[in-house]
Amino acid sequence: MRIDVLTLFPEMFPGVLGASILGKAQERGLVTINVVNFRQYAGNKHGTVDDTPYGGGAGMVLKPEPIFRAVEAILEEVPETKPRIILLCPQGRTFRQEIAEELAQEEHLIFLCGHYEGFDERVRQHLATDELSIGDYVLTGGELPAMVIIDAVVRLLPGVLGNEESARTDSFATGLLEHPHYTRPADFRGWKVPEVLLSGHHANIARWRKKEALRRTMERRPDLLERLEWDDELRELYEE
Ligand SMILES: O=C(OCc1ccccc1)c1cn[nH]c1
C-alpha cells in the first residue's frame, strides 16, 4: 500500500509514523508513507496557500490550486493507481473499524490535512473521494485524524502485526469489546488472576474470555449488541 499525506506541518509525522509498528511496517516494505508539504505547490514565492473567504467572515480558507497541483504531482508519479483521496474534517463520515477494514483493501490512499476554516469547496467537490471525521469535536488541523486513521489501517495490512490473530480478534473486529488481559505475577498486592486462566484448560479459558467480552460489552456498549452476529454459544452465555 502507498499512502501520501498532504499537510502544512510535515514535522508532526516522523515521530508517529516512524515509531514502533508503523515504522517497522515501512522498513519491511509493507507500506510506503510519503508526507508532502503542499506549500511547495503554492503559486508564488511567498508560498501562499490560504486566503480570505469570499462573502466575508472570519478566518482563512485553503486555496484550491496548491492541493490540486500536489495531488496531480502524485498521480503523475503513479498513474496506474486509483487512490482514495480522503479529506479529514468534522463534517466527514465518522471513522470506525469497518472503514479501517475497507481502506486496508486499497492500494493507494491520499490524505488531505486541512487547517483554518478548511479547504475551498472545490477541493471537496472535484478532488476528494471521501471525507472522514474521527469524532464530534474540532481540532486545529487534519493531521492527528490522518495519523489515527493511518494507524488503524496499516495495522490491518498482511504481515504488519506479528500475530495475525490479534488483529482479527481485536474488539470491534469480533463485534464485542475485548476480554480482560492478565500476565505475571499471579498474585499482585493480593489481587489474583482468575483461576480459570491458570488452569491450562483451553476450552474453559476460551469460554471465560467470550463470556467476559460479552459481559463487558453489555455493561459498557450495549449498542454494539444490536450489530452482533449471535451464535449459539454467545446466546447460551447471554442466558447464563
Ligand atoms: O477537526 C478536525 O479536522 C481538522 C480540521 C479540518 C479542516 C478544518 C478545520 C479542522 C476533525 C475532527 N474530527 N475529525 C476531523
CA of 90 to the centre of ligand 1 (A): 5
**Mean pLDDT for all residues in the chain:** 94
3-class secondary structure, 26: helix
- Give the residue, out of 88, 111, 123, with the most ligand 1 atoms within 8 A of its beta carbon, to mutate for a pocket test: 88
Share of the chain above pLDDT 70, in %: 96
Residue located via cell numbers 514535522: 11
3-class secondary structure, 131: strand
Q: Which residues, judged by CB distance below 6 Å to any ligand atom, belong to the binding site of ligand 1? A: 88-90, 114, 118, 133-135, 137-139, 141-142, 145
Cβ-contact 89, 136 below 8 angstroms: no
- Give the residue, out of 139, 149, 150, with the most ligand 1 atoms within 8 A of its beta carbon, to mutate for a pocket test: 139
Average pLDDT over residues 93-105: 97
pLDDT at residue 43, as a whole number: 87
Strands (DSSP E) contained in 65-121 are 84-94, 108-113
pLDDT at residue 229, as a whole number: 84
Whole-model pTM: value is 0.93
Instruction: Quick: pLDDT tens for 180-222.
Output: 999 999 999 999 999 999 999 999 999 999 999 999 999 999 9
Average pLDDT over residues 17-21: 90
* Ligand 1 atom 5: residue of nearest CA: 141
CA of 173 to the centre of ligand 1 (A): 26
Of 12-21, 95-104, 128-137, 156-165, which range is least confident?
156-165
The predicted complex's ipTM stands at: 0.95
d(CA 222, CA 232): 19
| Count of CB atoms situated within 10 Å of the CB of 39 | 17
Share of the chain above pLDDT 90, in %: 86
- C-alpha cell read off for 62: 485553503
Q: What phi and psi, each to the nearest 5 degrees, are found at residue 119?
A: -90, 155
Exposed/middle/buried for 170, CB within 10 Å: 0-12, 13-18, 19+? middle
